Amino acid sequence: MAYQFPATPPADALTYWRNKQLQPSFDYRDVWREEHHAAFTVAKLMQMDILEVVQNHLDEALAEGRTFQQFKNDLTPLLQKLGWWGKQEMTDPLTGEVVDAQLGSPRRLKTIYQVNMRTSRAAGQWQRIQRTKQSHPYLLYSLGPSREHRDEHQRWAGVLLPADDPWWQTHFPPNGYGCKCRVRQISQGEYEKLTATGRYLTEAPVIELKNWVNKRSGESEKVPKGIDPGFDISPRLAQQHLKYSAKKN
């Protein structure tokens, strides 16, 4: 059975999503890290009108709890009609190089759907955590319904820390492409019951960093092992984006 997001999305998730502005890009690294909190982009999608079509279908998917299959079936014929499908030659605006670019495909649509659904819901969840952390002050990291899990994510399963622990600033899921890990907020009473079993980690794991170079910008970054570059974004930035959006509206 295909995984389906809950039909009724959190209001904070919709607020976060609907305040993103369209940002065409050639490469996924052209719109990077914090910029994703304010911009919706799809690599190799340079036409604003087609980007808006994708954005509108994602909005329906988030607001109505539509499955990936529904999203794909509705969007595929539109993208094919608009000419954004299959492989086509494109010129990289940064390098001037002509490349055989992969445009729309079932695999790309799956990535677009999953990343945007999960990051929007995570942003909304973080906002709710901040509002309710006095009654539910702890977060529990758990694995999602993936068939296989990254080794690091398996080791993080059972991490049980205060909501304000700095570890969550880089390890709040999703932590990579295809990552279905999740966080559950728990009360003081449940925290005491869980920790009494001795099966949970109540100290933050040591964060091991690896070097990674963004070849589009030439900038070098240090990324926590087990997290895909660009996914180690502080949830506080999403929270700030939501607060800014609320003031703006």
Which among 188, 173, 239, 185 has a CA at the least distance from the CA of 19?
A: 239
| 3 pLDDT more than 90 | no
Residues 121-131: tens digit of each pLDDT: 999 999 999 99
pLDDT on residue 186 = 97
Q: Find all residues with CB under 8 Å of 115, minimum gap 6, and list them.
A: 174, 177
Q: Provide the strand spans (E) within the chain.
A: 21-22, 39-40, 87-91, 98-102, 138-142, 160-162, 182-186, 209-213, 220-224
Which among 238, 247, 243 has a CA at the least distance from the CA of 38?
A: 238
Do residues 16 and 38 make contact, with C-beta atoms less than 8 angstroms apart?
no
Mean pLDDT of 183-187: 97
pLDDT band at 243 (very low <50, low <70, confident <90, very high): low
Q: Read off the DSSP letter of residue 91.
A: E
Which among 229, 226, 210, 227 has a CA at the least distance from the CA of 152?
A: 226
CA 171 to CA 226: how far, in whole Å? 9
